[in-house]
Amino acid sequence: MDLERISQPMGNKPALVLVDMINGFTDGSCPLGTDCPEVVEANRQLLEFFRSRNLPVYFTTVVHRTPDQAVVFRARMPDLAVLTPESHWVQVDPRLAMQPGEVLIEKCWASSFFKTDLAEQLNEAGVDSLVVTGLTTSGCVRATVVDALQSDFVTFVAEDACGDRNPDAHKANLFDMHAKYADVMPSEQIIKLITKG
Which active-site residues does the annotation give?
140
Spatial CA neighbour of 187 closest among 54, 68, 18, 65: 18
In the β-sheet with 57-62, what is the strand arrangement from edge to edge? 103-107, 57-62, 14-19, 129-135, 154-163, 183-185
In angstroms and rounded to an integer, the radius of gyration of the C-alpha atoms of the chain is 16
CB 161 within 8 A of CB 188: no
**Other beta carbons less than 10 A from residue 105's beta carbon:** 17
CB 24 within 8 A of CB 62: yes
Question: CB–CB of 166/173 below 8 Å?
Answer: no
With b meaning 16 or more CB within 10 Å and e meaning fewer, what string describes 17-37? bbbbbbbbbbbeebebbbebe
Element (H, E) at 152: none
**C-beta separation of 83 from 64 below 8 A:** yes
